[in-house]
Structure 1
Amino acid sequence: MNFYKYLNLNRRTKKARFYLLPVLLLFCFLSIQAQDTNKLNLIIDADTANEVDDLYAIVSAILEPTFNLLAINSAQFHTSPLASENTVLESQKINEEIIELMHVKGIALPLGSNMPLKEYGKPMPSEASRYIIETAHKMKNNQKLHVVILGSCTNVASAILEDPSILSKIKVHYLGFWHTPDTNVYNKKEFNSGNDAIAVEVLLNTKNLDLNVMTATTSQHLVFTKQEVDSHLKNKKGIANYLVNRWETYTRWWTKEDPEKEKWIMWDVAIIEALAHPELTTIQYFLTPPENTQRTIGIHTKIDVHTMKTHFWNTLKNL
């Protein structure tokens, strides 16, 4: 080949590479951005110190690749016989310890209200309720902020009452009350619901609130054994040891059955797994209770327990 032709060709090749590189970088950036857009923008609102399952659910949510976990709010649980005068601080403390042990950054930890709603229509403002409002308003286009309530509804109900304009920007996933699908009969005498009965009414009565409920009736079927917990987490350090220790040291006050704590209902894990893997749950739509504003809400009526367990332990396999 003629030297000058070769030189000219080489220059054109370098020029092509010069223009191709920015295009490739832009493509990579847009691909990453698209992946992030497909993730669920999520806030977890949890009475973490109340029981055991909250901790397991939160750890799995932090590790779940389909979630963009923005915050873990602390929630109160004042009706527990083990409750202190400031249960929200108990939840806050554990949330902080989980984040520290997992070495994660970028997840906010807003403090919730220590008291339930005292009067219908009047919020109990807190850092948590304000964070929900501020984050909801940051949602762009058709994005929704998903808020998962693992305990009392105080913080979320307060946010709705403080700023109803967020309704079009949020979707609430609530773990609470009992429900019989065949007859559409509700029983609100359930622990989470009892910790703020007024806030539950706010969620049920708010017409334009997009609401799905994982009932105690459905989530009670997701049961972990101590044997399987030990097989996955025992003799490990950090957050794995923390989860095992929580199981072994927490006093189960509501029953004298199973004194050795060989089994535990993972109520909260069920709602997190259902959100991460919608194919593992069946959602049906029902009218709200007759005493509430008549509207349709989604209720999880069936879950794939075996596959939920498999997904959960697969998410935690590298702890």
Structure 2
Amino acid sequence: MTISYPKLTPETLQTRLAHPKGTVRMVLDTDTFNEIDDQFAVVYAMRSPERVRVEAFYAAPFHNELSDGPKDGMEKSYRELEKIAGLLPEMADVPRFRGSETYLPEAQSPVDSEAARDLVSRAMASREDDPLHVVAIGAITNVASAILMEPGIIRRIVVVWLGGHALHWPDTREFNMHQDRHAARVLLDSGVPLVLIPCMGVASHLATTLSEIREYVKLQGAVGSYLYDTFEQCSPDHFAYSRVIWDISTIAYLVNEDWTPSELVPSPILAEDGRWGPPNPDRHPIRCVRYVHRDGVFRDLFGKLGEPSR
């Protein structure tokens, strides 16, 4: 079966890819148990109500040494979302959904899940002039599945995805992208409005240290203590050690465009060898972030950890 995607006009794409004004409606798709940075992103989103209103959380699949497979990774991510909700009162009423138990078996075959169905429903209920922002910080399986299940959501969403490496990087075998390359190609090829935040060369600027987390995070209530503990446990030796908190780049993009300078580029092609293919100027445009100003991002995050949500 061949999926037919709606084609947005160049003018509509330009409008959707402009930085949003006012408060943004968003959902957050996250492999929350995979790393320590997802937890920071979840808290950052909930503590930024002046710019984003989180409508739902989706648990994304992952498979590495922390899981027995994508289903186990998704379930652990769902339970991690539940744990954070117990520490962050403002998150308690935000619905949380289990996502895909497998990766896409092929490029045009969606994986059904609670998360994908909720995204379709939520997106189709959105107005085209008030698109839902789909913020994704893991494998893009849930989002690609929703697009394949109902391609019409392309007219009603903007995807902000942390995936791949910078377009000049020698390869793009990055964890989020490489886990489900079929899903990544759906995202890159479908024409959905996409803001791509690469990892190496861009989000990799968001490094911090245990000393900084101890000083500005640890004493900020139960959730601050939890974030500190997860950071402390991520390495047996913190001497001259820093850790990248990749995922907060997506929230930072929505909060303040000055921290994440970007440009419109033709949607890149993901080659079979795990590299970016040659640029094709005839491809539809996406917005690609080219740098992250880490100081402004961490100043905002640390300040919000000490404040109740408004």
TM-score (norm 1): 0.80
| Aligned-CA RMSD value | 2.1
User: How far, CA to CA, are the matches of 2:143 and 2:235 in structure 1?
Assistant: 28
Q: Which residue does 1:43 correspond to in 2?
A: 27
Larger radius of gyration: 1
The aligned residue for residue 56 of structure 2 is 71
- CA shift, 1:141, in A, is 5.3
Q: What amino acid maps onto 2:82 in structure 1?
A: E
**Aligned runs of 1:223-234 on 2, under 5 Å?**
223-234=207-218
Indicate the residue corresponding to 1:283 in structure 2.
262
Which one of the candidate residues 114, 118, 142 is aligned to 2:129? Answer: 142
> Amino acid of the residue matched to residue 49 of structure 1?
F
Superposed, which structure 2 residues align to 1:10-159 within 5 Å? 38-65=22-49, 66-78=51-63, 80-85=64-69, 86-104=72-90, 105-140=92-127, 142-159=129-146
**C-alpha distance after superposition, 1:15-39 (max 9, x if no partner):** xxxxxxxxxxxxxxxxxxxxxx931
Query: How far apart are the structure 2 equivalents of 1:81 and 1:141?
Result: 41
- Do the aligned partners of residues 131 and 296 (structure 1) sit closer, same or farther apart at CA in structure 2, a change above 3 Å counting? same
Instruction: Give SS of 1:98's match.
Output: helix
Q: Distance in 1 between matches of 2:104 and 2:67?
A: 18
Check the 8 A contact 1:177/1:186 in 2, yes or no: no
Give the conservation status (yes or no) of the 8 Å contact 1:128–1:155: yes
Cα distance, 1:263 vs structure 2: 1.5
Q: CA deviation at 1:186?
A: 7.3
Q: Hey, what's the Cα distance between the residues in 2 that align with 1:111 and 1:301?
A: 32
**What are the Cα deviations for residues 247-304 of structure 1, in whole angstroms up to 9, with x where unaligned?**
122469xxxxx66584210110112111111122111122233558822211000122
- More contact order relative to length (CA 8 Å, sep ≥ 6): 2
Classify 1:198/1:251 alpha carbon distance in 2 versus 1 (closer, same or farther; 3 Å).
farther
Q: 1:166 to 1:309 in 2, by over 3 A?
A: same
Which runs of 5 or more structure 1 residues have no equivalent in the other structure?
A: 1-36, 253-257
1:242 and 2:221 are equivalent in the alignment: no
Q: Deviations over 1:6-62 (max 9, x none)?
A: xxxxxxxxxxxxxxxxxxxxxxxxxxxxxxx93111000000100001101110101
What is the rounded CA distance, in whole Å, between the counterparts of 1:303 and 1:235 in structure 2? 27
Structure 2 length normalisation: TM-score? 0.83
Q: 2:293 aligns with which of 277, 289, 304?
A: 304
Distance 1:141 1:234 in 2: 42
Number of residue-to-residue matches in the alignment: 273
Q: Which residue is equivalent to 1:215?
A: 198
Give the stretch that moved more between structures: 268-277 or 185-194: 185-194
Unpaired runs of 5+ residues, structure 2, are: 1-20, 272-276
Report the AA paired with residue 68 of structure 1: R
More helix by share: 1
Residues of 2 paired with 1:251 and 1:74: CA distance? Answer: 25
2:251 counterpart letter in structure 1? I
User: What percentage of aligned pairs have identical amino acids?
Assistant: 27
Residue from 272, 281, 295 that aligns with 2:284: 295
Divergent runs of 4+, >6 A: none
For 2:302, what is the secondary structure of its paired residue? helix
- 2:6 aligns with none
